[in-house]
Amino acid sequence: MPPGSLIERSFLERAPDLVAPDVLGKLLARRVSGTLLVGRIVEVEAYFGQDDPAAHAAAGPTARNAVLFGPAGHAYVYFIYGMYSCLNISCELEGQAGSVLVRALEPLAGLTQMTNARGLAPSAAPRLLTSGPGRLCQAFGLTRATHNGVDLLDEHSDLQLRDDGFVVPGVVVTPRIGISKAAERPLRYSVDGNPCVSGPKRLARPIT
DNA sequence: GGAATGATAGTCT
DNA sequence: GACTATCATTCCG
């Protein structure tokens, strides 16, 4: 049984820039073959629908981004750069696009399983397991084929968003990472001082 | 320590 | 045919 309780759907039926800071400190939990994987969300980015040229939903609904236009609380998983997957949590009411990209987790349970999934040595530092959107998907075994469209707020889902009452010490807001359009908008939210947040060096990387 | 670069494939124009 | 909401490695200072 995963820790905490499932999050209310109404919590996510809001604008992504309001959901993003509130989802910091919440838990992502996955049951896989008897093993429980749990990580605390420590870094996210908000993406809107229209009016956000950096969002996948900016050009309207397509086969790939359909989940973003669906009801809140579902997983939008997409394949990127030929090697990695990224996980979003859909926000807003059905028909309205919007999501929160989960960029980093603090691993809490199932570290051995995550280490194996990442192909790392047993001695690897825990922060290497889930500090980055591609990394955390690899650690949790998330792919578009297996998890796109999964309801994160269903007790029967194998991937869930939960709340154990933890309150983050502080939130830092910075520009989003890895995008070329609207890169200046401060929509990246992270837990102040958490070592699992992807490093400040990447934040300073020039956008060309 | 920091910056540049290659790997690699799905999706849309 | 171009473009990614990335990561690990390689180079340079």
Q: CB of A81 under 7 A from strand B?
A: yes
Q: What nucleotide is nearest A61 when CA is compared to C1'?
A: B12
Q: Strand C nucleotides below 7 A of a protein CB?
A: 3-8
Alpha carbon distance A147, A18 (integer Å): 25
Q: Strand B nucleotides below 7 A of a protein CB?
A: 2-4, 7-13
Phi, psi of A25 (to 5 degrees): 95, -15
Q: CB of A201 under 7 A from strand C?
A: no
- Residue A149 CA, distance from chain mean position: 14
Q: Which residues make Cβ contacts (< 8 Å) with residue A159, sequence separation at least 6? A: A28, A29, A30, A75, A140, A142, A147, A150, A152
Query: Model's pTM, two decimal places?
Result: 0.94
End-to-end CA distance of chain A: 46
What tens-digit pLDDT sequence spans chain A (208 residues)? 789 999 999 999 999 999 999 999 999 999 988 899 999 999 999 999 989 999 999 999 999 999 999 999 999 999 999 999 999 999 999 999 999 999 999 999 999 999 999 999 999 999 999 999 999 999 999 999 999 999 999 999 999 999 999 999 999 999 999 998 999 899 999 999 899 998 654 454 443 3
**CA of residue A83 to C1' of nucleotide B7, angstroms:** 8
